[in-house]
Amino acid sequence: MRPFQDAGGTTWEIRVNGGTIKRVQDLLGVDLGKLLDGSPPLLTRIHTDIIFLVDLIYVVLKPQADAREITDLQFAELLEGDALLAAHDGLMEELADFFHSLGRADLAAAIRKQRSIVDEAIRRAEDAIRVVALDAPTGQAPGNSAADSRPSPVAPPRSEPSGN
């Protein structure tokens, strides 16, 4: 069981078991036992499709949400960045533990490997963003046209020398 707190401070407990797997299949039409299937693979989709991730976490936690009389939209609104990341990480750890205890070390290893691949991709993207240099003469990113350097329509008017 992996606890996390939503943005409102409520603690939720992520648990993956046979009931969880069946509930996800029944409500989302997704077989968590086939993490490597699909295009993109389900495991990749969990990491890259935020709406799907929110729905998946809600369905995993549906018994707790029902007990608290929280709808899927109310739940989604409680998943701000930090809370969503904590829920995601808890879900992935629970899935890895579940599949490992089920004798599916291949799926547990795939879950852990996917995390390292995502972490590396994020690191590379951040590095690429850091090396984008501003064009010194204009202060604009490379590729901006001169048309983009027109004065803002809300800029104060320029003072013109009077002809008097």
pLDDT band at 139 (very low <50, low <70, confident <90, very high): low
Which residues constitute the domain of residue 108? 2-131
The number of folded domains in the chain is 1
End-to-end CA distance of the chain: 82
In a domain, 65, yes or no: yes
User: Percentage helix, strand, coil, to 5, in the chain?
Assistant: 60, 5, 35
Four-residue CA torsion sign, 104, 110, 116, 122: negative
Q: Which residues contact 136 (CB under 8 A, 6 or more apart)?
A: none
In a domain, 120, yes or no: yes
Four-residue CA torsion sign, 111, 83, 54, 72: positive
What pLDDT, in 10s, does the model give residues 97-123? 999 999 998 888 888 887 777 777 778
- Tell me the mean pLDDT in the region 57-70: 98
Give the per-residue pLDDT at 116.
75
- Tell me the mean pLDDT in the region 66-95: 96
What single letter denotes the amino acid at residue 46? I
Q: Is the pTM of this model over 0.75?
A: no
In a domain, 136, yes or no: no
In a domain, 145, yes or no: no
In a domain, 142, yes or no: no
